Structure formats: structure tokens, C-alpha cells
Amino acid sequence: VTSAVPLQYRQIFLRQRPDGIPQAEHFGIRTVPTPELGEGQFLVRVHYLSVDPAMRGWLSAAGNYFTPVPIGGVMSSFASGEVMLSRHEGYPVGARLMGMFGWQEYAVCDGSEVKRRIQDADEPLSLSLGILGLNGLTAYFGLMDVGRPIAGDTVVVSTAAGAVGSAVGQIARIQGCRVIGIAGGPEKVRWCKDIGYDFAIDYKQGDLGSRLSALCPDGVNVYFDNTSGEISDAVLPLLAVGARVAVCGTASVSSWSPWPMGPRVARHLLVKRARMQGFLCMDYEARYNEGIIALKSWIKRGRLKHREDILDGLERAPGSIADLYRGDNAGKRLIRLVA
């Protein structure tokens, strides 16, 4: 099996720290020699790279939940692949793994990067980066643990057609909720309806507040938000008494310097006795298995659909975060390195 290991491989590094959304020109590509493995190390051949909105934050020097990627460092990324060479008992050749392997064709690992071992041989490696990875788990724990939907609730989801949002909407339907999606453009609205949203609104058509208000005569019980900004500003005045707002992301805010202003939320939370709560999927690591079991069973029964939007080749990675913020993708954006 060692025959497949090349003498060198390519990686994407951070050339310049972006102020706002990372663009292709903030990154460079370089070829490095494949190093000798030390004791306890193993070499992963990366099959798929994940492109996630949160990656913008991983590059930001501003307050965040990660130390930012250093200038010259390999861009951090969730990725999935297979062990090609190993000097680590726990990760033998052939093991299929999902972890923080970075934007590179091969990764020298010691195990600290690994997030999940893909035991099921039938499970495609791409799924571990989407519906059976951080996206599905973010949807599952954010909705179930923070949003706490109750059958009959009206649940509103922003970025409703996205990799996380589309799973949130479907899981909320499975819980017996009435689900309204907010998405940008007719194609995304159509996909929302295809996967079972009761209603889907194209926010680009304008007048979101009054259209949403007409669909929520009894208010919004759960709001799963990936946007912050103007979309949230339209939803928060419609909260029902006892509402829960799960803060999953802030995709609509292009920069936090200077800090953006918006309508104050305290009064909505007070009058509606509502809860607004941020969460990170990583904080649920001890419960990932619970989420994976639930997600797999829903996929198997045809109740949870997903889409992948795959680009081929490492050279597509640098521009892919900006693509995501433009909403160019239809489904989970992945970069495939192994055909």
C-alpha cells in the first residue's frame, strides 16, 4: 500500500489575513515534500475538503473560539480521507477518518486532528463532511438542544436551503412542527419546498417582515438563525411568548470591525420571555453518536434529504469560501481531491 504515497503533495496556505470574507487572493498554493513519519504519526490521503461559513472566523484575528490560522500556515478545514501509511496503532492503514486535516492533498497526523472514524464501510466519505458530519450534527443539536421544538410549533429557519438549514427544516418537520424557510433566490426556495418546508420565502424579493408576519399569525416559537443582520431583524419582532432563538452563525455580517449596529433585541426577549442562545456543534462532541444514529435513521427512512455541490481539484479551494457567502452553491459545498 505504500506504493501510492507520492514524494510530494500540494497544500493551500494563508498568504494574507482577510478583513472581511476570505477571497482566493488571500491564499497561495505550494508543493511540499512528503515527510518521514515519526513514531505515533500516520499519513492521511485527503479525499474531500469541506467548505464552511465558519472558516471565515478561523482566519479572523478578532475574538473567536479558535486561534486564527497563522500567515503561512495551511488553511484549517474539516476533511475526510483514508490512512495510507501508519506508525500509530490506533489508526492503521485503510482506516477512514473525518478530521481537521486542512486544505492539502495529504496530512501528517498524530490523532489529535481526528473527529470521527467512519466505521460503516458503505458510508461515502463525503457524507461525513455534510449530513453525517458537522452540518447534520449542527442542525441536530442546535435545533433539538437549543431550539427545543415542540410538535405544533412554528419554526423559522434562515439560510433554509443550506447544508445546515435544510437539515434543520426537515428535522423540525419530523418533530411535528410547521416549518418556514427563508432563502435567497427561486432555486433555493424550490429546494426548500421539495424537502418539505411548509412555506419558503425568497428574502431577495423584499418585504420579508410582512410576508413572514402573514405566515406566522401566532408568532414564531423557534428561530434557527445562520445570518444575523436584516433577516433576524425581520424575524425577532415576530417571536411568540417563550420563543427560542438558536444562534448558529452570522453569515450576513461581512465584517465585525467596525462592529455592526442593529435594532436592540433586549425588549423583544423581555416582552416575549424569549431565549436567544449561541451554540457550537463542537461542544456536543460527547453526544455526536446520538446525533449520527438519529440522522442515519432518518436518511434511511427517506425523511432527511441532502444535496452535495462538489468542485474538483485543490485549486478550487481558495475561492470557495467567498463563493459560499455569495450563495453560489446548491447544497453542501465540497472539494474533491480523489476522483
Binding-site ranges for a second copy (CB under 8 A): 63-65, 225, 228-229, 232, 237, 247-250, 253, 256, 259-280, 283
Residue closer to a second copy, measured from CB, 19 or 283: 283
In degrees and rounded to multiples of 5, residue 304 shows phi and psi of -130, 105
* Least gap, CB of 323 to a second copy (angstroms): 22
* Least gap, CB of 269 to a second copy (angstroms): 4
Closest CA to 98 of 124, 112, 117, 84: 117
Closest CA to 133 of 54, 215, 231, 241: 54
* Least gap, CB of 225 to a second copy (angstroms): 7
* Least gap, CB of 272 to a second copy (angstroms): 7
DSSP 297-315: HHHHTT-----EEEEESGG
Residues 259 and 246: their CA atoms lie apart, in Å, by 21
10 Å CB burial of residue 172 (0-12, 13-18, 19+) is buried
Residue closer to a second copy, measured from CB, 22 or 318: 22
Residue closer to a second copy, measured from CB, 107 or 236: 236
Residue closer to a second copy, measured from CB, 30 or 273: 273
Residue closer to a second copy, measured from CB, 277 or 297: 277
**CA distance to 137, 157, 279, 307, per residue, from 247 (Å):** 15, 11, 7, 23
Q: Which value, to the nearest 10 degrees, does the dihedral of the CA atoms of residues 89, 94, 99, 104 take?
A: 110
* Least gap, CB of 268 to a second copy (angstroms): 8
Residue closer to a second copy, measured from CB, 121 or 266: 266
* Least gap, CB of 198 to a second copy (angstroms): 25
